[in-house]
Structure 1
Amino acid sequence: MSAARTKRPRRERGIPLRAVLPNAVTALALCSGLTAIRFAILGNWELAVLMVLVAAVLDGVDGRIARWVRAESRFGAELDSLSDAISFGVAPALILYLWTLNTLGSFGWLVALLMALACALRLARFNASIDGEIQPHKSAGFLTGVPAPAGAVLALTPLFLWLWTGAEIVRTPIAIAVWTVFAASLMVSSIATFSPTVRLRRNIRFEFVVALVVFIAALVSAPWPTLAIVAIAYLATIPFSIRSYRRIRLQRAAAPAPASAPEPSGPSGA
């Protein structure tokens, strides 16, 4: 009989306590996306859009909290992707369908499905490459395609314009369908877009704070014109991001390759 002790199987550790806060924020973002669908069913378009925007804010906060408390984990990444798929794929698709795409019948539902599917495919591509060592866009400070929150905001831009002006021409179903397909294609595209991460120099931090205060004031006092202008301005930056990334890629291709270290000389073996 062996005297060696049998090792007990190690108990799997649960989520550490410091990871509760960022995951709770992600769960709140998921709840906001689901609540947006509820308000869309009730025909309350303002609150439906507001819930999507709340989800976008929470989505930008949870990752920073996780890095701050050093609680980044695969569980958090998967929960974040699920939240994004609901809040920025399913919710905007259903909002647009219930708002005007339903008048197109099965074609309108197909467009809504395309919006939700594009967001899910983008997130799946992101998760598949998150551990990849070679990510050309990320290494140059860019993103691949339009991120999910920005794609949702772009898709909802006609609704912003309608809430702002009340013009029924903005609500034309065919135009909304074409715009939705366009926004969905931007999410799954491989174009380089600017990263939302902002690094400020010391001498412009005060100006940034002033601009941020002005933006928040405009968002509170006139939300729909502000959101429409922000979405159009973001769309206008895409040609510049493509050109900037192309310039960086050409500079990297023209740079000389680092010289390899010389092999140490020694006696040759027979």
Structure 2
Amino acid sequence: MTAPAPNPAPVADTDSDDAQRPRRKGIYILPNLFTLAALFGGFYAIVMAMNGQFEQSAIGIFCAMVLDSLDGRVARMTNTQSAFGEQMDSLSDMVSFGAAPALIVYEWALKGMGKLGWIAAFVYCSGAALRLARFNTNIGVVDKRFFQGLPSPAAAALVVGLIWVVTDGSPEGRSLPWMPWLAFAFTLYAGLTMVTNVPFYSFKDVNFRKTVPFIVIVAIALGFAVITIHPPIVLFGVFVVYGFSGYAVFVWKKLKGKPVSVISTSTDEPDEAGLHR
């Protein structure tokens, strides 16, 4: 009598194992490289301010602004959007356009004002944090054509642009008796305007894939030429105009009887055309 043959070893179902095993999610490198570069710009600005090189600090913040404007567009153009990229962008913005400008302006002019100085810097820093948090939570219900409050990069340009203009013209300009109060006013204005409901045009409805008249290209070339005349004054002037434009839009809408809020409550209202796009 022969012994029964041993049962064959069970064969692993590799196909079902592979299907059940969670796949490791990767990170898109291209848009996040721009985000990391923007973060480096903010960190570089802080380091330069600690060493008293405030002009380099301002240049670092403005470079971070350019890079921050590119990461989202690159992600959309290459179809590499991700939740990780959105969170990374917000954290980078908080450093480059929230903490960095507050620390730079405090070190540059507000330190000698005592409690008023660090309170103004904190108002700006907390305003940037609140503005970014509100932006992330309201992203699905805000008219894409407008920002709800002053965007943090523009607020940083107001604060740091003043420093750039003064230090570029004369290093002794910060020692003028009224300069700390001017920096105090700009810091408070930028910080509080970030958390208002005032609409600021976002330029997000500008489509770079569409054809444009030849005169538009000429105007862009002239714009670059004007900036090169004196970058600190020109860029600061542009952002000062933009920093007050939201209130002009607010007053104009009020006078016309149009809704001034950029928050949508319905997709069927004719006054909310352009929302939910």
Pair 1:95-2:99 in alignment: no
2:216 to 191, 205, 208: 208
Distance 1:72 1:244, change over 3 A: farther
Q: Which moved more, 1:62-71 or 1:173-182?
A: 173-182
Secondary structure of 1:193's partner?
strand
Distance 1:97 1:128, change over 3 A: same
| Structure-2 separation of matches of 1:204 and 1:236 | 28
Q: TM-score if structure 2 supplies the norm length? A: 0.78
2:73 to 64, 79, 83: 64
| Structure-1 separation of matches of 2:202 and 2:138 | 17
Structure 1 residue aligned with 2:152: 148
Report which of the two structures shows the higher radius of gyration computed on alpha carbons. 2
| Structure-1 separation of matches of 2:129 and 2:73 | 23
Matched to 1:238, the amino acid is G
Structure 1 residue aligned with 2:226: 218
Deviation at 1:157, TM superposition (A): 3.5
**Unpaired segments ≥5 residues, structure 1:** 259-270
Distance 1:65 1:77, change over 3 A: same
| Structure-2 separation of matches of 1:103 and 1:218 | 36
* Kept in 1: contact 2:61–2:160 (CA 8 A): no
Structure 2 residue aligned with 1:231: 239
Q: Which moved more, 1:108-117 or 1:199-208?
A: 199-208
In proportion to residue count, which structure has more helix? 1
Larger RCO: 1 or 2 (CA < 8 Å, sep 6+): 2
Deviation at 1:177, TM superposition (A): 1.3
Deviation at 1:215, TM superposition (A): 2.4
Deviation at 1:61, TM superposition (A): 0.4
Q: Percent identity over the alignment?
A: 33
Distance 1:171 1:22, change over 3 A: farther
2:192 to 185, 205, 212: 185
Structure 1 residue aligned with 2:24: 13
Structure 2 residue aligned with 1:79: 88
Matched to 2:201, the amino acid is F
Deviation at 1:224, TM superposition (A): 1.4
Pair 1:163-2:163 in alignment: no
Number of residue pairs matched? 245
RMSD: 3.0
2:259 to 249, 254, 258: 249
Secondary structure of 2:155's partner?
helix
Pair 1:43-2:52 in alignment: yes
Distance 1:200 1:157, change over 3 A: same
